[in-house]
A = this chain, B = another copy of it.
Amino acid sequence: MARVMVVDDDVTVREVVVTYLRAAGYDVGEAADGESALTDLRERRADLVVLDLMLPGMDGLEVCSRIRAKGDDVPVIMLTALGSETDRVVGLEHGADDYVTKPFSPRELVLRVESVLRRVGERGTVKGSVSDGDLVVDSTEHSATLGERRLALTVREFDLLRFFLSNPGQAFSRDELLQRVWGWSFGDQSTVTVHVRRLREKIELDPTHPVRLATVWGVGYRWEPLS
Chain A residues in the interface with B (C-beta under 8 A): 68, 80, 82-89, 92-93, 95, 97-101, 108, 111-112, 115, 118-120, 122-123, 140-143, 154-155, 169-173, 175-176, 179, 184-186, 216-220, 222
Contacts and interface: CB of A to CB of B under 8 A. Distances in A.
A115 B176 contact: yes
Nearest to A156: B218
Given A89-B85, A92-B98, A219 B112 contact: no
A118 B119 contact: yes
A97 to B, nearest CB: 7
Contacts of A155: 217-219
A111 B173 contact: yes
Given A99-B185, A112-B175, A140-B169, 18 more contacts: A83-B185, A85-B86, A85-B92, A88-B89, A89-B99, A92-B112, A93-B100, A108-B173, A111-B171, A111-B220, A115-B172, A118-B119, A140-B171, A141-B170, A142-B171, A142-B216, A155-B217, A155-B218
